[in-house]
């Protein structure tokens, strides 16, 4: 099994502290059924949760063949009522479409210069996207 190296990310936005900092050690009890499922499919809980988060956030990593999974996670998010008190279902779906569009532009076969340029653009655009939805209207 490949070990993940923890990357330390400096806060990009002022609110990225405490519960919202990018690099975190979270300690909680995993349900036994979840652990059993992970063991049965030979996937560590950390790998499964990281995969879940990447798909829900419409990440650019490992996109191919995951469109249906991403859509089901968006449906899951909305069905649970996350953000319901602040955004309409249409707004939430637009948020996810915009995130997906950003990740879709990832230059798969790009050289280092292209990847660096994309990363800088994505970071700036993510900040724009966040501020747009934080302060709509």
**How would you classify residue 83: left for phi > 0, otherwise alpha for psi between -120 and 50, otherwise beta?**
left
Residue 39 confidence (pLDDT) above 80: yes
Cα–Cα distance, 25 to 125 (Å, whole number): 27
Mean of the pLDDT values across residues 16-35? 84
Which stretch of 7-11, 46-50, 79-83, 116-120 has the lowest confidence by average pLDDT?
7-11
- Choose between 13 and 97: higher pLDDT: 97
Whether the per-residue pLDDT at 6 is higher than 80: the answer is: no
pTM assigned to the model: 0.76
């Amino acid at each position: 099994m490949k070990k993940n190296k923890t990357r330390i990310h400096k806060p990009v936005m002022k609110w990225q502290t405490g519960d919202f900092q990018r690099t975190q050690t979270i300690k909680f009890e995993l349900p036994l059924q979840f652990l059993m499922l992970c063991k049965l499919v030979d996937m560590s809980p950390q790998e499964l949760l990281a995969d879940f988060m990447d798909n829900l956030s419409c990440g650019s990593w490992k996109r191919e063949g995951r469109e249906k999974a991403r859509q089901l996670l968006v449906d899951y998010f909305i069905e649970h009522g996350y953000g319901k008190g602040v955004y309409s279902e249409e707004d939430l779906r637009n948020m996810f479409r915009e995130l997906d569009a950003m990740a879709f532009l990832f230059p798969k076969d790009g050289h280092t210069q292209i990847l660096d340029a994309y990363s800088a653009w994505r970071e700036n655009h993510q900040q724009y996207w966040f501020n747009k939805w934080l302060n709509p209207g």
